[in-house]
Amino acid sequence: MKIAPSVLTADFSHLSTELETIANADLLHLDIMDGHFVPNISFGPAITKSIHDQTHLPLDIHLMVSDPLQWVPKFAFEQTKYLTIHVEANHVSETIQAIRKEHIGVGISLKPKTPLRAIIPYINEVSLVLVMTVEPGFGGQSFMIEMMEKVKELVELRKREGLHFLIEIDGGVNEETIQIAKSSGVDIAVVGSYLFNQEDRHQMIEALKCV
């Protein structure tokens, strides 16, 4: 299991130190919120660039924004590995093409109430499918185990169609729920408050990787 800590739950007043405590992760997950697609506002390209310059980790950027097309060039950093947009957002096809032109892996995400069929038109163009296991926009929510049905469907779809996208989940991940995710076929787990509440984050990341 690949582990992607969500930097949103880090202490931004000691960002460099916080990043050092999770340096053994596989990816760094950044939630970008516009206050419109979701009620909260997080941070933008300037803070993301600062994070980029203080870590060696590949960036897994999740655009929880209504109009992702305008933001693609602003988040196309050297270490941006995935740029994920929501299927519920505007101009999905155009945004996917814009991400591909930047030579960045395309991610597509869907909210818990959105049926899996909504992303099927784009499935051949993506490198990553992010299944939200909480309602996007707020931390500390409980893991929605019913979302594992979507994961299992994605596993079957990937095998049937000979595709190679990775399956990621975000929300409510801890030592117990990550085992459920692993058995369902998840490849990458975003971990937020659970990880940042640990005294030894390095050790916890290693434990979660080995699930």
Torsion of CA 38, 42, 47, 48, to 10 degrees: -40
What are the C-alpha distances in Å from 83 to residues 74, 77, 112, 138?
11, 10, 20, 20
Q: At what angle do helices 148-161 and 177-184 cross, to 10 degrees?
A: 30
In contact, 60 and 85? CB cutoff 8 Å = no
Mark whether 31 is an active-site residue: yes
**Residue 34 catalytic?**
no
Q: How far apart are CA 80 and CA 208, in angstroms?
A: 23
- Among the listed residues 26, 31, 53, 67, the single catalytic one is 31
Spot the catalytic one: 11, 170, 187, 200.
170
Residues 95 and 62: beta-carbon distance below 8 Å: no
Q: Which residues are catalytic?
A: 31, 170
